[in-house]
Structure 1
């Protein structure tokens, strides 16, 4: 019979005051497969890649407000925009740079000297220099030779460094590039031009976590500079792929609040940061109460709605209607939830509907400051279920109060 080490389930990195996740995340056999960096930086791109979502526009003042709140939440790097888009974007980036933030401010640049000049004038500390690298993009979109891309990248990375900026080599569509070309480009950009960072970009969201692990390991074997992940979410794997990169040594993640972005969006800032904290034990320095606040601001300003069951920040994440889990929630919320709403300054919400049980009624009575004899609970529950079926929805507090009044006569 196999023998397993007996652990104290109440004590360990899997359990905090407001969360309780799987202890298997922290098994030695699991940890031995990972190459986690000592620290992971969050590089929020809401103001650039998030704004590229169709129909979304943030004003200068809105960008400054979002940036201040991100900074206050502990985000270490903020991508403030793309200066080449318009003079208005340049003005907004300058305003963010002048907001006296602790976070480093970056902006996106094409592999063109004039874009580096714009970045310098805006006052950013880092230029994210984008170069297309995938076979289909080079052949069918840009009609560039691989040698031309290498020449452009070396020239503009060197120019950015000479201009006093950090240079981030941003490899558009990395996950569909020829490996031989990618190795030559990355190696030369770092060793000859002095690129400070290499960003792996899954532009089409079309790779799986094992593929990301393979690619990051390859790049880490070529150069000794920080690797950043920038993953899109077309197959719903943006967060998983970002974390897979970190598992193999990537030191930062480029992401957007609420996963805002083109098509299916990007890796979600709040999801990757909270997963790092709870599932990997990696400290991010993020205040999740404040991060939730800015995520809600972005939700309002963008005009985009999100599913109520969206991970981490969904409106219904801590909402219960079914009776059995509500009863468990009253005993100990860790039984039915991996983390608690207090982390985000939120609270539980209990609905009364077809699937409710007596525990729902007790919760609501306490919440609303009402009383009801125990012997009448069963009748009230029957009335709630019948009305919910008739209305085809959960009941409002006013409708519940009316039922209580009718059963108190």
Structure 2
């Protein structure tokens, strides 16, 4: 298991919650690096990397189900890091450590008010005589606590809304502190990270970017690196960052498929030339793409053919680059997380993301993925630090198949021209609002 981009980090054990990625983002916003790992991941390997704390996520299952996911015993043995269980994580802790969990007579979903009932370090910022709003999402409840635990907060329908075993450094909350609907949630996470785990909060994106530059230089040596440039946020910021490590040895291939918006190819080329030192290759392949789309009306078939032609064009262009051994991709952390379920096994793959799946292995490249452990907002922040203009950093997503997916029926030059002109008019009208980031 690889080392962390920070010596101080928190492991988030994922039980399948829709909010798991939010937990990671919130901890990083507080200056503590975190990683998400499925609950089926190698617990010994994770603990060997010395996380300062463990956060057990929520999940859609019930701990009462025979095949419900469980907390790995290694996480609970003596000497474990401080633990915070959230929702399912709380119930799993109580269920596995000798408490009792039962079906709730009334499912709690949405806003609730919680009041502290005992002193605990996690709720130090909340007055003991005033309830505070939280967000609940559960159908089971803790009916009896394991030995050593005490209730520290409760709500109308959840007497054990928060529990603690301060001696063993284990806390659990039935609500979700990571979501915006729990206004004081960041305070709870802060107390866990800094008071319970002893974190210093020294992780910074700028340090991460410097590490990427340094490690990319060391890994690639004198070899050339090929980058698939789409003009989107991820690939453009990757080009800007990697150009600091590689300069002209970074070869960005931009495929003009004839399905782009008005002036887009020229705009992307201009931005890359002004803000990076990469060697830019523009492959004008409109005719090849339109030929492949002739007579095709099914949207999925359009996507398949566009993807196939893109690979062919990319392969042809990359063959002309001498000494190219590496392929850089703008893979993001959510791409990685979403490609594997929380529970592993034969149904582990939720989807094969286009970046994680990658270009065909026969291209023979080793992968360079500078943003593999970052979220989109973190990539935008790096782009801003690198001095990229707002129109790049805050660019709205545009599908890889381009305008083809907006055309009903066959894609023809005439239909593309009409759509391109209409799109340009709309973008021009909303440009002032978009520039102020109100759209």
Return the structure number with greater strand share.
2
- Would you call these one fold, judging by a TM-score over 0.5? no
TM, length-normalised to structure 2: 0.29
Instruction: Kindly indicate whether structure 1 or structure 2 has the higher relative contact order, using CA contacts under 8 Å at least 6 residues apart.
Output: 1
